[in-house]
Chains A and B, each alone.
Chain A
Amino acid sequence: MNTTRNFGFGYALVGAMVLSGTAANAAGQITFVSQGGAYQQAQTVAILDPSAKKLGITINQDSIPDAWPAIKTQVGSGKPIWDVVDTPTGYCLRGGEQGLIEKLDFSKMPNAAAMPEAYRSPYSVSYEFYSSVLAYSQKTFPKDAPNSWVDFWDVKKFPGRRALRNHPIATLEAALMADGVAPDKLYPLDVDRAFKKLEEIKPNITVWWTSGAQSAQLLNDGEVDMEMAWNGRVSAVAKEGAKVAFTYNQGILQSTSLCILKGAPNLDTAVKFLNEAVDPVHQANLPLHIDYGPGNPKAFETNVIKPERAAQLPSEPANAAKQALMSYAWWSSPAGEAAEKRWASFMQK
């Protein structure tokens, strides 16, 4: 069996299969949702196709850039169509608290149970890692490039135009590190202190970007000289020949996780798939196709990832040690949600 690749047409496909009677049994298939683009193609080759083959199931795929509103409406309507979602970990936690996401039984998932506790929650399992890093133009900084958030905030020593993400997550962490907080001492975030530090840099921010593509374009076009960006976006631009680079130092290590919608139509198969998807070997395949790190750290012990490749990945142990591991539990707590709401008024002042 194989996974069916028809991003965006998942619904139609499920319908067509039911009508034509080709679906052998409902337990042998799931609908899996990710974020599309090069990332979903990479995981199809690395993880989804091999998992489907090994389990003998069909994985129908759908994609959506931001799954959260759809999760809410689908589960809210009482008849979800999706089973498993690959989405920023915070949504799995928040969804769990709001009764939108199934609680996981780790006794049925040996691969997931073997992962470090910081990499899973009662509702989710880390699936892949990316990092919000400090990226810069090598044209502007041929040597003595900015290497920390302290440097990013130092507009005298490093003159140039800057961009940050128009979102509090990771931005508040960067502000606190710029103010001298150690990467492993960030949580619970001192929100007042973070916003105060952000006020300081605000006049020097040219663009507050809203999409990953926009951040890549800003750096590529020379519109900004340094910015916070996702590591995969920067390396993609660099591969195309742009003179840009980034540092993992003080990066903010973030993950997307797999979680299962409450009342998923194929719950049992979904649980089996979740366990298979974090299998160290499948996980080790992912970075061979895209610049994201495996969600399961055991992947680095499989010898599938060559050492020089591992060194480029955000979740490789030595790189991870230089970074702050984002606490999604804090962000989905009341304090985290309050900080998110405060962002809008910060932006408009």
Chain B
Amino acid sequence: MLALVSPALLVILLLIVLPVGWLAWQSIYHDGFTLENYRRVFTEDIYWRSFALTFEISLAVTMIALLLGYPVAYLANSVPKGWSILILSLVVLPFWTSVLVRAYAWLALLQRTGVINQFLRYLDVISEPLALVHNTFGTVVATVHILLPFMVLPLYATMQKIPGDLMQAGASLGASPSLTFCRVFLPLSLPGVLAGCTMVFVLCLGFYITPELLGGGRTVMVSMLVSRNVELYNQFGAASAVAVVLLLSVFLIFFAVSRFISLDRVLGQK
């Protein structure tokens, strides 16, 4: 057995355990053992502000993705097979476009001379262009777009496993469609909701390119602090400490979620 899995273990060791271990080591060792990097992360308010902003944005993105994703997954689940394949393909299609291209596409749509502002001005709805990008708003819009599939797919997988008989049983007992939805379907789909929300939230925590390009320099998410510490201040230790704290928060979230549902489900299996 061990012989069979050892190549896989080796890959994991080389690609994941060693680099992450090296990262963690750099955060506590620089010409001797030091906790200075962590002291800074936990006491300086730029770090606090960045972590707070990152969690706020992640929460907003998760909520919006849920509101948009749930109806899509529901629709894909309730239409005939051919249609559901079409809907899911449309959801997955943007996946094959680079994140960078999608960020620039949003820039083309949202900026002052962008498609949306031009159109609204043409219709005389607005006289001055709206500030749709180079701020937190633009960042959230583009991030939702990029992360939506991670919400729809777990939701769809969960909904697929809800037996249709239960809905019929509810209806035969005299419940209206909305009542069966609220009392039967919605509770049974909650594991999917939790799974989708966890995926989106956790992925959003580490977003980098989107806020960098669409945030106008003011939306400083944690990942940007990591890069800035390396590029601007040349402090690998400080960067590592921020990264370790971010990584631990992700583990903590997964741990909390795993107490409610099986982690396999969050990661898309079964």
Taking beta carbons and an 8 Å cutoff, which residues of A are in contact with B? 66, 68-69, 72, 94, 161, 166-167, 206-210, 214, 221-223, 340-341, 343-345, 347-348
Chain B contacts for A222, CB-based, 8 A: 112-113
Q: Which of B224-251 contact A (CB under 8 A)?
A: 225, 228, 230-234, 236
- The answer to whether B212 touches A345, judged by C-beta atoms less than 8 angstroms apart, is no
Instruction: Determine whether the beta carbon of B50 is less than 8 Å from that of A348.
Output: yes
16 contacts between A and B (CB under 8 A): A69-B230, A69-B231, A72-B234, A94-B234, A208-B217, A208-B218, A221-B113, A222-B112, A340-B233, A341-B233, A344-B220, A344-B225, A345-B45, A347-B217, A348-B50, A348-B220
Q: Would A207 and B134 be within 8 Å (CB), given that A223-B113, A347-B218, A347-B220 are in contact? A: yes
Q: How far is the CB of A198 from chain B (nearest CB, A)?
A: 13
Please list the 6 inter-chain residue pairs (A to B) with the smallest Cβ-Cβ separation, ordered nearest first: A208-B217, A166-B217, A207-B216, A222-B113, A345-B46, A207-B134
- A166 to B231 Cα, complex, angstroms: 13
A210 touches B112 (CB 8 A): no
The smallest beta-carbon distance between A199 and chain B, in angstroms, is 14
Chain B: how many interface residues by the 8 Å CB criterion?
Answer: 24
A200 to B98, CA, bound (A): 38
Scan residues 130-165 of chain B and give those whose CB is less than 8 A from a CB of chain A: 131, 134
Task: Report the bound CA distance from A340 to B134 in whole Å.
Answer: 23
Instruction: Say if the beta carbon of B121 comes within 8 Å of chain A.
Output: no
B210 CB-CB contact with A under 8 Å: no
Within 8 Å of chain A (Cβ to Cβ): is B39? no
Query: Which residues of chain B are within 8 angstroms of A161 by Cβ–Cβ distance?
Result: 112
How many Å lie between the Cα of A68 and that of B228 in the bound state? 13
B45 partner residues in chain A, CB cutoff 8 A? 345
- Residue among B112, B220, B233 with max Cβ neighbours from chain A (10 Å): B112
Is B111 part of the binding interface, using a Cβ–Cβ cutoff of 8 Å? yes
From B46, B216, B220, B232, A167 is in contact (CB under 8 Å) with B232
Cβ contacts under 8 Å, B111 to chain A: 221, 223
Q: Does B183 contact A (CB under 8 A)?
A: no
The distance from the CB of A89 to the nearest CB of chain B, in whole angstroms, is 16
Measured between C-beta atoms, what is the minimum distance from B207 to chain A in Å? Answer: 15
Report the Cα distance A66→B232, complex, angstroms: 10
Q: Which of A68, A69, A167, A206 is packed against the most chain B CB atoms within 10 Å?
A: A206
Residues from chain B with a CB closer than 8 A to the CB of A66 are 231
Instruction: Kindly report which residue of chain B lies nearest to residue A346, judged by CB atoms.
Output: B46
Given contacts A69-B234, A340-B233, contact A208 B216 (CB under 8 A): yes
